[in-house]
Structure 1
């Protein structure tokens, strides 16, 4: 199986490799669509280890991660959750948007993020030592949370942390071409549109144009959708529901594409 495409931006690969070697947990910080999930997929491939991904949300509980009893026939049978499976088998467990999960999830992983590297399963009364190859990875979008669901300092300090940002235009253009085979001049125009919108702070957008959105637009253009329409549906509409802002962004992108 070929490696997932990932364009190295800084020293993140060597940091991850040494963090894995030292058996430390790592936290990836940055806006949506900056390549955090793709980076983890790439590193799991490079390290030849299994990756288990959990997309956290407000209903994600420690039970979802650790496991639960299920009724099978006339008896209750324990079923390991993804965290327990990763701890036992030595996989990389990736908690995407960890701040969205319920507080008991943070409590559950505490003993895995320090020298103990162990998981306590309360319902079984068991403590499991993590496999030598187990690694805990979490991602977090500080800008999106805006203080509402911030990670506590005591939790942050249990992780090695790496910040992700949008690539510089030249690299972002290369990413679009590599990911979608779109023409380089079109990729460059898409990146220019994204850069312009990212700098329009007066519009009050909660999120801005991610590399992921540009990839979607480039794929649509490469498949034959008109350029302006592709930008409208793949970049502008996902950003906001405000009709005035949509029109302003549409006028801007139409001129630039």
Structure 2
């Protein structure tokens, strides 16, 4: 954990809700689109609360053993190695499971006794159950607009958690974020934000995600490296969004309109 607070600009009451949930030892569910600041928010909260942060990027192949731990061979001996969730439980850290619905449901079931009044983690292979150390907090996130019906949190998991909803910030706040994070001028940040807002208003098939605050920061940083603004926006914003030529052409029209050469 660094001594400097990670930059995070609140857009509502999310900080108050998180800190209240932490004080009452309640797990937290963060919902919102990709790149809107959920991870940075958790980093800022960990800093404010003085707790170490352990982050896990969830994926299809994530197993219970990946979270809890497993026996490994080391130097001819079999040794138990804690997984990230177990380390957080033992040390009283904040454990952040990013995009938790990407993990298999049989994996996330292990969270249930941690997420209710028990605050316990059963470790079957060791034959023991750990009680979470003071300071432990379970935080999970996902993007409800991106997930399919087959990839969603079980109701039994949702109802154990305090929910905080995120979205892209207002224009003024987002301009401030892009400026602060990239070091670019306010004018460049404003141009990028307005271009992103135009993309977010599009209603066309072929775009599963829209332009996040994260990609705007990347585009602004490219301009700081000397790339012209339209080229920076093409590389950091437009190109990653779609492989569909028709959609790409539509985005190119928007680019020429909002960020002309």
Q: TM-score range, shorter-chain basis?
A: over 0.9
Cα offset, 1:93, TM superposition = 0.2
In the alignment, is the contact (CA less than 8 A) between 2:206 and 2:247 conserved in 1?
no
- 1:197 pairs, out of 193, 196, 199, with 199
Cα offset, 1:205, TM superposition = 1.1
Q: TM-score if structure 2 supplies the norm length? A: 0.96
1:63-103 deviation line (CA, Å, top 9, x unaligned): 00100001123321111111111000000000000000012
Is 1:40 the equivalent of 2:46?
A: no
Cα offset, 1:203, TM superposition = 4.2
Number of aligned residues = 257
Q: How does 1:2-41 map to 2 (within 5 A)?
A: 2-41=4-43
Q: Which moved more, 1:179-188 or 1:110-119?
A: 179-188
1:208-239 deviation line (CA, Å, top 9, x unaligned): 11000101001101221011110001000110
In the alignment, is the contact (CA less than 8 A) between 2:230 and 2:255 conserved in 1?
yes
User: Equivalent residue for 2:61?
Assistant: 59
User: Equivalent residue for 1:181?
Assistant: 183
Is 1:159 the equivalent of 2:153?
A: no
**Structure-2 separation of matches of 1:247 and 1:218:** 22
Cα offset, 1:204, TM superposition = 4.0
Q: How does 1:1-257 map to 2 (within 5 A)?
A: 1-257=3-259
Gaps of 5+ in 1: none
1:27-48 deviation line (CA, Å, top 9, x unaligned): 0000000000000001111111
